Structure 1
Amino acid sequence: MVPWPHRMPRIGTFGKGLPRSSEGTTFDLGCSEVLAVRARTAKTHRGTVLADPVGMYLDDISGDQLLTAEEEVALAQTMERGRSALSRLELETDLDPPERRHLKSLVHLGEEAKMTFIRSNLRLVISIAKRYGGRGMDMLDLIQEGNLGLIRAVEKFDWRKGFKFSTYATWWIRQAITRGVGNQGRTIRLPVHMVDIVRTVQEVQQSLLERFQRPPTIEEISAASGVDVEHVELALSAPRETISLDQPIGDDGALELVDLVEDANDNDPFLDADRVLRDRDLLSAISFLDPTEKEIIVRRFGLDGEAPQTLTNIAAALDLTRERVRKTEAKAIAKLRHPSCPVNLVSLV
């Protein structure tokens, strides 16, 4: 989903003939801009539904002109007057009706100025979002994250410092997109601060691989990227992108990836049958041992089909000491190895 701000009046309609108010506390429009910057997934243009959402979005914002430095200052001042007016409305309860109406008009103009500021810079978001393509998020989602950063930049912009807004907003937009990629771009989430490090390390690794015609060492990647060795190791061990086991394979899609993945737990039935027969023969072969010796050997080597047990576990099960179990096991094995043993165990192992 992509934020689609309502079209607002151009800058010429803001702030004309309105007295400047003193600085007030910062105000937050709450979710009003989020409602205004609403998401649309389809739009009819001259009776035809546009199939490309990105193209549809570009078509919608193409009429918004870029702001000049003077217009940016004028909008910021209008927003500032709106913040001061809202602060007075919230704090002063004894305002007369004309003054209250005047303050409400300033708040409304501040909201409109903010929306115009946002809409006039939506193309800046797109230009930055393009750099983050192919990182696990759709372009529309990248644009939406960037638009949230743009809203924050508009709220924090200080026109008195003399900076061009696009220079200031770029940092907020990039931060919002980076956080979005870190939180949503991977099935296995990475910490936000590691996302850029992983990207840098992987790009440097590929560049050095092409240059050296061999895999670069961790030290070489660290030197070329400026990332310390410890973080390079963490970045290289970060989980790669996941793919679905249901992904079709081949042109006809007749197979899925899961059909080609070996099931390590799916044992060969012939080997299973052979193991069952061997264990049965071994149980028969050790039948000459006394009951305690036989029980210990069966448990110790898993001849009953269960997992082999430790001396401690066997001792607890038989209510014996661990040393007693060890000595009994050694005694039973000695009997099985003795030449007088009635069964040739070598043929059964």
Structure 2
Amino acid sequence: MELYAKTVQELVEKAGEDKILFYDDIYPYYTEEDLEFNKILKDLEKAGIEVYETEEEYDEIVLSQTQFLDLVVGDKEPDELDLSKLEVEEIEEEVLGQIMSTYTARVDDPVKMYLKDIGQIPLLTADEEVELAKKISFGREAKEQLEYMRQEGALSPSDELELQRVIDEAEYAKHKLVEANYRLVVHMAKKFDKGSVQFMDLIQEGNLGLMRAADKFEYERGFKFSTYATWWIRQGIARSIADTGRTIRIPVHMNETINKMGRIQRQLTQELGREPLDEEIGKEMGITADKVQYIKRISREPMSLENPVGEEEDSSLADFISDPNAITPEDHMIDEALITALNEALETLTDREEKVLRMRYGLLDGRNYTLEEVGKEFGVTRERIRQIESKALRKLRAPSRQNKLKEVYNNKRR
């Protein structure tokens, strides 16, 4: 545990003031089979560290507000080309209405009720959005000031009351900003609704991303909240699918690696005109062929043993899968013959000799009794039992008794 805690602490320090790490920063601390990777990610998240697979993912998907705008816009106003590259969508009220009517017409009752509820929430005007964002910003500042004044011991009751009022107003403003954009989450969830995860679960994960966006949004940058929130919603939904969309869960970091390998495999297939070799895929990904095979194995989708097979579908897949531990009819017959031959050989001994051997070698009830336990059964010493056992074994080794046992035993070993 001390080594693990030290590892997490080193990673936190490595993240620095930016509080950002990439998978390449973490890989040296674990092996691919190590089950602690997800635990490391969770502990880093608790420490406020953002972890991304690659720098490209960080740049293109989940940028902080400042870096997001600086990268796309710089000192200029955003033009259509910049926004088209970002694939950020402006969702108008009419479009949202169409989405709502589509889903209301075809989904089950819980979703209908949810869509009906959020459909009654009015959309915000640009001015209202800015006003709410200002209150959220004031709330962040008030929270920092409140903590600072408490630490310094300079917090008067009136100051605390006023700062808490600003914080409460910020929480309410955040709630209003989030609920006004619930329909944006529905729109994003629709794009990811492929059946692997329940639609309402997608919406829930998207709403978590929406709330995260509200925490980080800075209205001063000039973009609409929906433009910024789109990225956080998409990330929340996509990661939820990666985390829960499979029958057998695959860690998020491996799911992203699987997707990357799939893209490279398709690209190489187009370039080479054939299926690429594991070595060729590994070369493009910077990993070994063995690692490629490992990724392929864990990416396989499980199949149900109850899947119907055949034209009439009267059989299941389980009917055609052999059990490597099952006893074949031939082995079963040999086992029966060996038991019969052994019983016949034991029956040629005296009753006491037979019972001693059966108790000593588990032929009575499956348990091997000690010399002392057998001695108590017969009321004699353990040494006497040892003598009886030795004499009985010598009798069984006689050719007249041994030949039949040898024949059956040798057949079993073939």
Q: What TM-score range do you get, normalising by the shorter chain? A: 0.5 to 0.7
Give the deviation of 1:179 after TM superposition: 3.5
Matched, 1:60 2:117: yes
Query: Which of 132, 136, 148 in structure 1 is aligned with 2:208?
Result: 148
Q: Is the 8 A contact 1:125 1:173 kept in 2?
A: yes
Q: Which amino acid aligns with 2:176?
A: T
Q: In the alignment, what sits opposite 1:236?
A: 296
Cα offset for 1:126? 3.3
- Structure 1: tracts of 5 or more residues without a match: 1-49, 285-341
Give the Å deviation of 1:194: 1.8
How far has the Cα of 1:145 moved from its partner?
1.4
Q: Is the 8 A contact 2:309 2:317 kept in 1?
A: yes
Q: Aligned pair 1:81/2:138, yes or no? A: yes
CA separation of 1:161/1:57 partners in 2, compared to 1, >3 Å: closer, same or farther? same
Q: Work out whether residues 178 and 192 of structure 1, in 8 Å CA contact, stay in contact via their aligned partners in 2.
A: no
Shift of 1:264: 3.2
In 1: Cα distance, 2:237 partner to 2:225 partner: 18
The 1:69/1:93 distance shift into structure 2, 3 A limit, reads same
Q: Do structure 1's residue 188 and structure 2's residue 248 form an aligned pair?
A: yes
Residues 17-71 of structure 1: CA deviation (Å, up to 9, x unaligned): xxxxxxxxxxxxxxxxxxxxxxxxxxxxxxxxx7354444334333445556554
Name the CA distance, whole Å, in 2 between partners of 1:268 and 1:221: 42
Q: Provide the aligned length of Structure 1 versus Structure 2.
A: 271
**2:158 paired with 1:95:** yes
Q: How many Å separate the matches in 2 of 1:152 and 1:129?
A: 16
Which SS does the other structure have where 2:157 is aligned?
coil
* Distance (Å, rounded) in 2 between the aligned partners of 1:174 and 1:345: 72
The corresponding residue for 1:160 is 220
C-alpha distance in 1, partners of 2:191/2:264? 17
CA distance in 1, matches of 2:123, 2:271: 42
Partner-residue secondary structure (3-state), 2:285: coil
Deviation per CA, 1:70-126: give whole Å up to 9, x if none.
Answer: 543322111122344556677434218xx93x6555444322221122123223333
Equivalent position SS for 1:263: coil
Q: Which residue of 1 aligns with 2:361?
A: none
- Taking structure 1 as the reference length, the TM-score comes to 0.53
Structure 2 residue runs of 5 or longer lacking an equivalent are: 1-106, 345-402
Deviation at 1:196, TM superposition (A): 1.9
Q: Given the alignment, which residue of 129, 141, 146 partners 1:72?
A: 129
Quote the residue 1:227 is aligned against.
285
The one-letter code of the counterpart of 1:190 is I
In the alignment, the residues of structure 1 paired with residue 311 and residue 174 of structure 2 have an alpha-carbon distance, to the nearest angstrom, of 51
Alpha carbons of structure 1 residues 51 and 281: separation in structure 2 relative to 1, 3 Å: same
CA distance, structure 2, for counterparts of residue 211 and residue 131 of structure 1: 30
- RMSD (Å) for aligned C-alpha atoms: 5.8
Which residues in structure 2 correspond to 1:330-341 (within 5 Å)?
A: none
Which one is further off, 179-188 or 60-69? Answer: 60-69
- Percentage of pairs with the same residue: 40
Quick check: 2:258–2:299 contact (8 Å CA) kept in 1?
Answer: no
| Cα distance between partner residues in 2 of 1:176 and 1:252 | 43
Structure 1 residue matching 2:139: 3-state secondary structure: helix
Alignment correspondent of 1:126: 186
Q: Secondary structure at the match of 1:58?
A: helix
CA distance in 1, matches of 2:121, 2:213: 18
Alignment of 1:1-349 (within 5 A): 51-64=108-121, 67=124, 70-85=127-142, 91=150, 92-95=155-158, 100=161, 105-134=165-194, 136-202=196-262, 205=265, 214-221=274-281, 227-230=285-288, 232-245=292-305, 258-259=318-319, 261-277=321-337, 348=411
Change (3 A) 1:267 1:150: same
**Cα distance in 2 between the residues matched to 1:280 and 1:215:** 58
- Judge conservation of contact 2:137–2:218 (CA < 8 Å) in 1: no
Judging changes above 3 Å, is the alpha-carbon distance between structure 1 residues 210 and 89 closer, same or farther for their aligned structure 2 residues? closer
CA contact (8 A) 1:146 1:174 kept: yes
Q: In 1, distance between residues paired with 2:312 and 2:322?
A: 22
**Does the aligned pair in 1 maintain the 2:133–2:218 contact within 8 Å?**
yes
Q: Cα distance, 1:148 vs. partner?
A: 0.9
Q: TM-score, normalised by structure 2?
A: 0.46
1:31 aligns with none
What is the Cα deviation at residue 155 of structure 1?
Answer: 0.7
Structure showing the higher helix proportion among its residues: 2
Change (3 A) 1:251 1:58: farther
Contact kept? 1:178, 1:195, Cα under 8 Å: no
1 or 2 for the larger relative contact order (CA 8 Å, sep ≥6)?
Answer: 1
